[in-house]
Structure formats: C-alpha cells, structure tokens
Amino acid sequence: MKNILFHQQSQFTRSFKKKLNEKLSEAGLFYTQFLVMYYINQQQPVSLVEISNYLDVEKPTITRTVKRLEEQDYIEEVPSSDKRE
C-alpha cells in the first residue's frame, strides 16, 4: 500500500513539475528558478548559502541561477550590511 501511495505521489509531482515548467517557460523561467524566487520572497533577506541549503543544491549552481534571474530583472541583489557574507 505504501509503495502505491509513493508511486502516485511521484507521478503527481512529476506531472505538476512538467505543467509548471511549461507555464514558466513562457516567461523564460524554469522550475528551479521559480523555487529560488519563492524562497527569496518568503525568507528575505536571504544569502546564497541559505538558498543552496534549502534547495539542497550546490552553491555554484545557485550562484548561476541567481545571476540569470538578476540578468532577467526578476530579482535584485541587495548588498549585505554584514561584511563577512
């Protein structure tokens, strides 16, 4: 029974991501970029390390994703007042 539920959830998630990617692509975005923007919106201010940890993605990948979002004017970097970041 657990395997069936897990399989159904996996199928739903895969289908949802596919449909979401189709809609996001109209705006030149992908699912991961959407997740990054959602997290930033919910947690701001937030660091690249925090985004990386939350999404369980390597920091260089997040850095590239954030840079693309900045280039597309979806987000804007706000320098931290903490010089250690």
Give residue 2's pLDDT: 73
**Sequential pLDDT tens for the chain (85 residues):** 778 888 899 999 999 989 998 999 998 899 999 999 999 999 988 999 999 999 999 999 999 999 999 999 999 988 877 665 5
Evaluate if pTM is beyond 0.85.
no
Burial class (CB in 10 A: 0-12, 13-18, 19+), 62: buried
Q: Which CA distances in Å does 53 have to 27, 40, 76?
A: 26, 13, 20
Domains of the chain with CATH codes: 2-71 (1.10.10.10)
Residue 32 burial (CB count, 10 A): 15
Residues 6+ apart with CB under 8 A from 59: 48, 49, 52
Give residue 46's pLDDT: 93
